[in-house]
Amino acid sequence: MNIPDSYHVAELVIKKSRFIGEVFVLDFPDPKSIQKTARDFLKRQKEKYFDATHVVHGFIAGDSGSYMGCSDDGEPSGTAGKPVLDILKGSGYTNIFLTVTRYFGGVLLGTGGLVKAYGDTAKAVLSAVKPVPLIRWAEYSLSCPYCFYEGIKKILTENGAVIKNEEFSQDITMEYRIPFTAGAAAAGLIKDFSGGKVVPVLKN
């Protein structure tokens, strides 16, 4: 599967209503909190478009695109969020969050018109998105003496890791993400570099 390359926006005017489609990348979505992440995204969008008539959303996340959701935000059931989600399902993207914001123009579209308007807006913004291959990430933690810190960071950087958290106490505790295919090799390099004193632990 692919993920979106970056944020994108597109706008359509349909029978005097403005439809604003926006795509966001869900960076490193945690399956345990994906629903909360989606709610947080939606909250920010509603705050941004506080004067809009509706802010509809759809999202897909997870390595296999198994986490998804949508909302109609007051539009008739099935006429807004579902068309957006259906477009996302057919796009081949995961870790994607898409909103369509509507400013009502005074002309009712009917259920069929709403489905088409929201679906067309989703298509319009997705047409600007460039696919980036999904990287499956592994999560590790380790604890190391200060003398190994710089060397370990160099190994992680060279292997594409992203450090999530560091705590500096008597030793240094580190949590990091790394492409799954590089995880075991990097862990071996760290173990060798430290003479077996530092052994990264796989968390997922």
Share of the chain above pLDDT 90, in %: 87
Asked if 109 and 145 sit in the same domain, the reply is no
Query: Does residue 204 have a pLDDT over 80?
Result: no
The CATH number that applies at residue 173 is: 3.30.70.240
**Is 124 in the same domain as 165?**
no
Which CATH number goes with the domain that contains 15?
3.30.230.30
Total domains, the chain = 2
Does an H or E element contain 123, and which?
helix 110-126
**Both structure tokens of 79:** 């006429």
One domain, residues 16 and 89: yes
User: CA-to-CA distance for 24 and 98, rounded, in angstroms?
Assistant: 6
Give residue 28's pLDDT band: very low, low, confident or very high (50, 70, 90): low
Residue range(s) defining the domain that contains residue 142: 137-202
Tell me the per-residue pLDDT of 51-89, one tens digit each, with 9 for 90 and over.
Answer: 999 999 999 998 888 899 999 999 999 999 999 999 999
pLDDT in tens, 86-134: 999 999 999 999 999 999 999 999 999 999 999 999 999 999 999 999 9
pLDDT reported for residue 92: 94
pTM of the full predicted structure?
0.78
Task: Using the 3D structure, point to which of 91, 110, 133 is the last residue of a domain.
Answer: 133
